[in-house]
Structures are given as C-alpha cells and as structure tokens.
Amino acid sequence: MKVAVVGATGLVGRSMLRVLEERSFPVDELIPVASERSVGNKVVFKNRKVPVVSLRDGLAMKPNIALFSAGGSVSKEKAPLFAAQGTVVIDNSSAWRMDPDIPLVVPEINGKVLTREDKIIANPNCSTIQMVMVLAPLHQAYRIKRIIVSTYQSITGTGKAAVDQLENERRGVEGPKAYPHPIDMNCIPHCDVFLENGYTKEEMKLVNETRKILGDNKLKISATAVRVPVVGGHSESVNIEFKNSFEMDDVYRYLRKFPGIIVLDDPSKNEYPMPVLAKGKDDVFVGRIRKDISKKETLNVWIVADNLRKGAATNAVQIAEYLIIHDLI
C-alpha cells in the first residue's frame, strides 16, 4: 500500500502523518509530497526520516491513495492526474466538495455513497464535519427544519501564518499578518472571503456542505463564522429547529449512541466541551444541550472538535480506512 500525503509539510499534512501512524494505517510506502522549496527536506514517520518529493515525482510513484492538503488550486489541477492513473485521491480542499459527481463524505454519516469507481473523494470543511456529526442522528430522528450556527474558529484553520501572527503579537514582535486585524485579545467575524450575499465563503460552506452530506437540499441554514485567538479546536453554538417533537432523554440517547460523539454535559460540575479538552483528540464533543425557551421544537447545542484532527486529517484517514474495510480500493 503506497500512500502519498500531498502537502505533507503543512499543519494538516503533518496531522495526517500523525493520524496515519496512530491508527496503524497499513502504509507500506509513505510518499510525502510538497512544493519545490520543500523537496529534499524530511518528515518523520514511524521513527523514520522520509524525504519529501515533488508533485511530479509523487505522481510517477503511482500511490494507491493520495491524501491531498495543498490548497484548492493544486487539488483542481493535480488530483485528476493522480485519479487518471488509478490513485484514489481524498482531497481536503474546497475544490471538489460541491461537484455533483464527487462524493463529500463523513464516514459515520454517509460512507455508503462510496463506490469503487470514486477516484476523487472530497473531505468536508472542518466546521461542517463537527456540526453534521451532531446533526445527523437528530435529523434522522426528528427531521431538521432550520439551523442557525455561530462558529468560534481556531487560528490553526488558517494555517501556520496565523499561528505565527498570534505568537508574534503575544511577544510584541512585528511580523507578517495572516489577518487584516490583530488576532490576540480579539475576535474577527471574517473567515475566508466575503461573497455578494454578505456571507463569507466559510459560512456558505456550512450551508451547502451540510445539505449535501445530510442529503437534504431544503434545509434552512444561516451561519456566522468568527475567528478567535484559540489553538486547539473550533467551537460552535448551534440552534436546531425540528419538524417533529422531541424528548430530551431521547436526544441524549441518540447522541451518546452515535460513533465519534462524546456527550460532555454536566453544568453542575462545570463540565462542557472546550477547545483545550478537544485538542489532539478525534472525537466530536457536544454539551450545553437544552431546549430553546423562545421557540417550540427547537434545541441548543455547543459543539467542539479539533479542526486539524476530525475536522481534517482524521476524517480523511477514516475515509481511506472505509475504502479498505469495504474492499473499494
């Protein structure tokens, strides 16, 4: 099993390497791929130093699976080249997510859509993944009518440049800026670029990707995405209106039963999800679960997950695991 990680030197790429190792994924040959300036550098995998190769050389090595996390333009151009030679590409960028012919997958929810013919598979946006993990069992039970979500997103979602900006600001050092404003001691209601409808691209990802993953284009969704000075995970406040009535005991039961979800909800003991608890973990944490006192058949939840793990690297590796387990590769 030859596995390429395209973008192996980035934050998500390095997380992919850790997850592959931690989950004992059957890697016989690792092919770390990065930009020309990183070629010749080495990444550590299973206590071995493996040299980074170029995209051209990575393609020539004909991997069985290629985990892509090198940006949308690279994915759009290079993923079809890998796919054409039989490599299964699992792409972490937004390049292919809304293509009607490309599956957008969270394995616990819709892994069954995958077939042996799928050579490009889209990994959803980090903030979408953690939200749909909680929504899926509730949608199945009660049918969701409307969702209002506000996100509090870690700077690691932007990348290393954002982490550097925060660290520089905390040390009082001038340096390059990933954001148009200071991020330390601040919240920036601006994730990705603004669109003509006044929403950002990140906010519309939450809308469109959620509909595609849950298979319901009639879902009403409104999102506000905010960048916060946190390293460790994204948090989301989600208000969910259902078509059908629900009982709280059943809500807890459905959530606790769903694979990959941990219910952490005991305010009397100050127990609720927080990024410091989610950092480095693959689970999605949900708490502050309560009925909306202003509207019938409506629920409030607070969702937290490590955006580099389940929000990116872990979900991609889980897709690869699903393909192997179900003999689709």
Distance in angstroms (rounded) separating the CA atoms of residues 150 and 157: 16
User: What span, in angstroms and rounded, lies between the C-alpha atoms of 236 and 247?
Assistant: 22
Cα distance between residue 261 and residue 305, in whole Å: 10
> Which residues, given as ranges, of the chain have pLDDT below 50?
none
Q: Residue 21, SS3?
A: helix
CATH of domain 2-124+312-325: 3.40.50.720
Which residues 6+ apart lie within 8 Å of 77 measured at CB? none
The CA distance from 230 to 306, in Å, is 11
CATH architecture of 127-307: 2-Layer Sandwich (3.30)
Residue numbers annotated as active site? 126, 234
Structure tokens at 302: 């607070």
Contacts made by residues 268-274, CB under 8 angstroms, sequence distance 24+: 272/302, 273/235, 273/302, 273/303, 273/304, 274/235, 274/304
What is the Cα gyration radius of the chain? 20
- CATH 3.30.360.10 placement within the chain: 127-307
pLDDT for the residue numbered 232: 86
What's the token pair of residue 152? 């509090």
Q: How many H helices and E strands in the chain?
A: 10, 13
In Å, how far are 233, 256, 266, 284, 329 from 287, measured between CA atoms?
Answer: 15, 11, 8, 10, 37
- Please, where in the chain does CATH 3.40.50.720 lie? 2-124+312-325
In tens, the pLDDT along 241-293 reads 999 999 999 999 999 999 999 999 999 999 999 999 999 999 999 999 999 99
Q: Count CB neighbours of 179 within 10 A.
A: 16
